[in-house]
Amino acid sequence: METIELDYEGIEQLPLKNFTEKAYLDYSMYVILDRALPHIGDGLKPVQRRIVYAMSELGLLASAKHKKSARTVGDVLGKFHPHGDTACYEAMVHMAQPFTYRYPLVDGQGNWGSPDDPKSFAAMRYTEARLAPYAEVLLSELGQGTVEWTANFDGTLEEPVLLPARLPNVLLNGATGIAVGMATDIPPHNLKEVAAAAVLLLDKPRSTLDDLCRIIQGPDFPTGAEIITSRDELIESYKTGHGSVRMRACYEVENGEIVVTALPYQVSGGKVLEQIAAQMTAKKLPMVEDLRDESDHENPTRLVIVPRSNRVDTGALMSHLFSSTDLERSARMNLNMIGLDGRPKIKDLRVILKEWLEFRTTTVRRRLEHRLDKVNRRLHLLEGLLIAYLNLDEVIRIIRTEDKPRPALMKRFKLTEMQADYILDTRLRQLARLEEMKIKGEQEELAAERDALMKTLASRQRLKTLIKKEIQADAEKYGDERRSLLVERAAAQALDETALIPSEPVTIVLSRNGWVRVAKGHEIDPLEMNYKSGDEFAAAARGRSNQQAVFIDSTGKTYALPAHSLPSARGQGEPLSGRLKPADGARFVGVLAGEPDQLYLMASDHGYGFIARLGDMHTRNKSGKSTLSVPKGAGVLPPVPIRSLQDDWIVAASSEGYMLVIPLAELPQMSRGKGIKIINIPSAKLKSREEAVAAMDCIQDGEKLTVYAGKKHKTMKPDEVDEFAGERGRRGKKLPRGYQKVDRIRVEIK
């Protein structure tokens, strides 16, 4: 024992370390044992137990009239002092909400909150309450010697340590609570299933957890949402006592609209709609047109999601919403509770049921013993009453004449003190009215009851049978069908980001100085756009908003950016150098867009080129990807989209007026490199930059070609173009005089 130190004034001294440690430990144990954790016996926390008991003492049973909640809470606080009035009322509300409690203990009138907002309940002065019929499971045996009593907070009253629960309520309604250093999360279960499992364990005590899990297949929440956790995971959670349960909303498709009819446990419909609306606002859900909340008193959950068209894949859309919103949610499972030994522990399912059956057996035994004592006492009194009846005149004489009739009666008729007191407490008029037949009839009934009770108490099997019948009767009375369906489903997959971007036609415009912008539609003429002073049009590409825009710089590197992320063409755009990191001195010369399989002609102005796939140019690297190898001193030509490998011809024109037409099919398809020679330009002229390839394009049979030279241009007919056909790598033919200083060429597509 710790020695108490006293100072010179006789005041107790205690080291601060010892004081704080003790204070903390005392508080921790109070929270664990008297506040946060449920007891295995009745499945209630102390505050809940006190509310139920106080309401039963007030006569607020299921058959009574509702009473103002404030009066009930006041009574609970006055008698048993659990927490504050707000916390106490909140616990009461919790037990009354059918969407929170699987089998509510309180029946409320007024606003007790809604599934959408459980905390929106009215103040206690506005609501009324009484106990629900199910509360009888906890209270029906209260006055039958089944309960241990303890003094309340001020010692003026007695309160039950535990309520004599007829069913394993700890599993039926579950519990959540945070203690010091531990927590509990017990999910609710179906009454019929739990009762059947308890009966199985009674009949076959050696039943394994797997046997029990065949009956209790999983939790049963007060919602119609599906439990999608695999059976193996659930069994593992029941074995270890902790795990998680995954729930998913249920939906139907009505007239092309998706109607959500059930949400996971404790999920707000309003919040779900908020989450979906946020995605729509951020333009990350283009396939959804509209949202509606059609919930009412008949349909507590009815959320309508309207797809943009009937071509939208409903399954993929819902899978995305399951993974990105609260339409799919996990609930923790942590089977932590106070056991019969008074200690908190995480227990597996079998241990919980076994321990509860032990509690129930003790309760029933105490009830039967209490009743047996009462029957024996009554038989004893009836025995004395019969003696009094048979000697009535003598009894009356003794009572009237004797100064001390009690010892006289005991001596004369060999009665016990209890019998003598009972005769003396009975009025003479009533004694005179006694009938032998009635007394003997009652004796026979009670003797039969006593024999039956003694038989039951003496036989383990009879006691088991009685408990079993009572569990089955309650299961029949209060049980219902499972609400949460168990359906194993694959994990939800969020849609690819590109699938979530609206697929709209766009034109990506690049300026000479490397500024980029995106205009909606393909009808835009980039040449007519406004450009900053000293800047002009360089290149444009037509694609869709959900595609990647690929840029190529003067070093042959390609860069990729999502088209939808580029600035709007309402302004003058933004410089690409702000988003990308090109090499020093490099400038952007071309832009590409389309499907990843789209083919492009990549070439340098030295006359070398190859066919490249657009998907091979995609990169996340801000520094770009080396695609076209450019010889020293050479420049990059804007990439040309290829329409057909078989039908396209390459038209290459040099700055000196040479032009060559060759079949596109002669070029190799590569992901990167220099390519092969398309048109021959003398190396001396290349070195001195006297001559280079001025333009390159793809043409098909029957199409016209326009050659631009300064302010002049010439449109060549198909047969004129054919004259320039030759072998790959040759010099080509000279264009007519006056059109030899080629700036650019343009194919008039049929």
CA 95, distance to chain mean position in Å, is 22
Task: Quickly count: other Cβ atoms within 10 Å of residue 275's Cβ.
Answer: 14
Note whether 194 and 64 are within 8 A (CB).
Answer: no
126 labelled catalytic = yes
Contacts for 394 with CB less than 8 Å, ≥ 6 apart: 412
Secondary structure of residue 604 in the 3-state scheme: strand
Helix/strand/coil (H/E/C) assignment for every residue in 341-373: CCCEEECCHHHHHHHHHHHHHHHHHHHHHHHHH
Distance CA 76, CA 62 (A): 18
Biggest distance spanned by C-alpha atoms of the chain: 160
The answer to whether the Cα torsion of 428, 432, 438, 443 is positive or negative is: positive
CA 691, distance to chain mean position in Å, is 68
Alpha-carbon dihedral of residues 206, 209, 214, 220, nearest 10 degrees? 130
Task: Quickly count: other Cβ atoms within 10 Å of residue 115's Cβ.
Answer: 21
E strand or H helix at 401, and its extent?
Answer: helix 392-401
Q: Where are the alpha helices (DSSP H) in 58-167?
A: 69-80, 85-96, 136-139
533, 707, 711 from 736: Cα distances, Å: 36, 11, 15
Residue of 24, 27, 30, 126 with catalytic role:
126
Per DSSP bridges, beta strands 12-13 and 5-6 are antiparallel
Distance CA 349, CA 590 (A): 68
Backbone angles phi, psi at 551, to 5 degrees: -115, 145
**Residue 224 token pair:** 């119609």
Radius of gyration, alpha carbons of the chain: 45
Per DSSP bridges, beta strands 574-575 and 537-544 are unpaired
Query: 145: phi > 0 → left, psi -120 to 50 → alpha, else beta; which?
Result: left
E strand or H helix at 158, and its extent?
Answer: strand 158-160
Tell me the one-letter amino acid at 113: G
Annotated catalytic residues are 126
